[in-house]
């Protein structure tokens, strides 16, 4: 069996016990953006911080995020049928922390306005991506929630909030040289 043989029922090699602390440490070395997923269900706004966000497809336009199966906020987002991805700016680390907390009015933390889907859009975000729920899959101890993009906007001068080794940081395009132009032959 090769490492790529993942057929159902294929024999699996015996492995040593998995080191979850090492797993977290190694994956923490991958820098990711930070988003807040928001929705409105029956007039109640809900939102949660998420770093597991990605683009999935251009045709149709799909994005995905991966909330924990234990999330108390995600069921309300799922039940709303639509959601917004708010890509946080480098000035919004307090917003990211606030939307990760339980038992507080998360929407008192940052100014917001309603988007086309009725989901709250956080002001000062780098971008907003509004979606209709397209699919959901159970993957390990998380869901993979896929949204079909129905509206979006971005602010080209804003710098994103990043998460690396369990800490927030920023990246600035101005501090990095542009990609060299390729010569045509």
Q: Rounded to whole angstroms, how far apart are CA atoms 46 and 32? A: 23
158 — pLDDT class (breaks 50, 70, 90): confident
Going along the chain from its start, the domains and CATH numbers come out as 32-166 (2.30.110.10)
Supply the pLDDT for residue 35.
96
Burial class (CB in 10 A: 0-12, 13-18, 19+), 77: buried
pLDDT in tens, 87-143: 999 999 999 999 999 888 999 989 999 999 999 999 999 999 999 999 999 999 999
Q: How many other CB atoms are there within 10 angstroms of residue 118's CB atom?
A: 16
What is the rounded distance in angstroms from the CA atom of residue 162 to the CA atom of residue 107? Answer: 21
Lowest mean pLDDT among 8-22, 46-60, 62-76, 89-103: 8-22
């Amino acid at each position: 069996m090769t490492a790529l043989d993942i057929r159902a029922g294929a024999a699996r090699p015996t492995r040593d016990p998995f080191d979850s602390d090492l797993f977290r440490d190694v994956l923490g070395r991958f820098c990711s953006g930070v988003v807040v997923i928001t929705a409105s269900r029956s007039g109640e706004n809900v939102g949660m911080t998420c770093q597991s966000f990605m683009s999935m497809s251009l045709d149709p336009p799909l994005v995905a995020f991966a909330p924990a199966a234990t999330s108390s906020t995600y069921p309300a987002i799922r039940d709303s049928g639509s959601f917004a991805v708010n890509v946080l700016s480098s000035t919004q680390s307090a917003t990211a922390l606030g939307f990760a907390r339980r038992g507080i009015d998360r929407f008192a933390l940052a100014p917001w306005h309603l988007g086309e889907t009725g989901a709250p859009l956080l002001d000062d975000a780098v971008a907003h991506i509004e979606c209709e729920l397209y699919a959901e899959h159970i993957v390990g101890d998380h869901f993979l929630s896929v949204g079909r993009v129905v509206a979006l906007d971005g602010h080209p001068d804003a710098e994103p909030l990043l998460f690396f080794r369990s800490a927030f940081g920023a990246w600035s395009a101005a501090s990095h040289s542009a990609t060299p132009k390729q010569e045509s032959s």
